Amino acid sequence: MLDPFPFEAPKALQRAVEPLAYRLGLTTLPIHIHEVLLAALLYHVTCTVVSPWLSTRFFPKIYPQFNRRTRINWDVHVVSLLQSTLINAVALWVHWVDDERAEMNWRGRVWGYTGGCGLVQALACGYFVWDLWISLRYVREFGLGLLAHAVSALAVFSFGFRPFVNYYATTFILYELSSPFLNVHWFCDKLNLTGSKLQLYNGFLLIGSFFGARLCWGTYSSIRCFYDVYRALTQPGGPADTATSHMMRFAGDEQTVPMWLAYTYLASNLTLNSLNFYWFGKMIETVRKRFDPPLGTKRPAKKAKKEEEKVLVEGIELDTDEEVEQRTNGSTTAVETDPVVARGLYDDGRRTIEVSQTEIRSRQRG
């Protein structure tokens, strides 16, 4: 199958990226570099322009009230929803119509290449390039964990451009089948729809798709991939045996898969599959907390003991602007209250008056 993208990469762009691509062994990257860059640009524009504009327009009483971190997180979830929907549609379409991919034997699954699988690989890498940029830019907000995930995902998915197990690009990207429902679940919490029927039905779809796509399909595909790589490591002959095939045109003359490549890919895959089982349990626990028994585990909300606690729950800052400014300047400004006048009358008819006033003198800190 040829690359179904509407146009090919400009020759100048291909020549510009070829030295780096060949040095890294990413043979097919130059013919897909425009798809990687366009995908990254699409997600960047969505995050910085489209999401803030649409969110402010459709949720004017909610989105503008978010703090900086929540607003960034919202925009990232919008991109994730777009990316997972797009990549799932493309991967399923390639999976169904790519006849060359369907005819691959184990050698083809390890060293083979088709344009459809290359497109899926490029769109995924474009997202991980954008994800890496976001993780670097907002590392203080999201932490080093997400940064490490972005680096690892980009590195592992880039192996498909060697090409190495390019066949499995459309297979493992279908992990994303559960991501749209995960994003909808997150949006329900932010839109005050926690515990609603929408979140309940979406929760069933989230758990079902996660179980089917990641645990069942993912585990089966990982075992199949492991076996293919094992055969490539242990059986004589390599891509040269079938180099005349069109789908093997980018395969090199190596007779085996490099050990470092096999171990890196398989270790990453095994780690992700292990995390999927852990995440599945946490996901069920998280969804159930949103709903009342018997399906859920939601507990009645505790009433605030003090009015101050209620104010904090509502997200209102107790500090006044003046207090914040005073602390910023490192000093306490004098605060003077109005005088309180109390009048009285003794038994013998004499009148009395009492005046009280509270005053706080300014003191410079440090």
pLDDT at 94: 95
Which helix (H) or strand (E) is 88 found in, with range? helix 68-97
The Cβ-side half-sphere exposure at 5, using a 13 Å CA radius, reads 22
Q: Please, are residues 280 and 146 in contact by the beta-carbon 8 Å criterion?
A: no
Residue 332 has pLDDT above 50, yes or no: no
pLDDT at 301: 59
Average pLDDT over residues 261-275: 87
| pLDDT greater at residue 316 or residue 35 | 35
Nearest of 287, 305, 307, 283 to residue 295 by alpha carbon: 287
**Nearest-angstrom CA–CA distance, 277 and 245:** 39
**Nearest-angstrom CA–CA distance, 349 and 326:** 49
Average pLDDT over residues 140-168: 87
pLDDT at 290: 79
pLDDT at 352: 56
pLDDT tens by residue, 211-251: 999 999 999 999 999 999 999 988 866 665 555 577 888 88
Average pLDDT over residues 20-41: 95
Of 11-20, 217-226, 285-294, give the lowest mean pLDDT range: 285-294
Q: Please, are residues 329 and 293 in contact by the beta-carbon 8 Å criterion?
A: no
Which pTM was predicted? Answer: 0.76
pLDDT at 204: 92
pLDDT band at 291 (very low <50, low <70, confident <90, very high): confident
| pLDDT greater at residue 311 or residue 67 | 67
pLDDT tens by residue, 334-348: 444 455 455 555 455
pLDDT at 256: 73
pLDDT at 308: 36
**Nearest-angstrom CA–CA distance, 83 and 137:** 20
Average confidence score pLDDT of the chain = 82
| SS3 of residue 315 by DSSP | coil
| pLDDT greater at residue 304 or residue 283 | 283
CA 110 to chain centre: 28
Nearest of 253, 256, 261, 268 to residue 24 by alpha carbon: 261
In 10 A of CB 309, how many CB atoms? 12
Of 107-121, 147-161, 177-191, 204-218, give the lowest mean pLDDT range: 147-161
Residue 144 has pLDDT above 90, yes or no: no
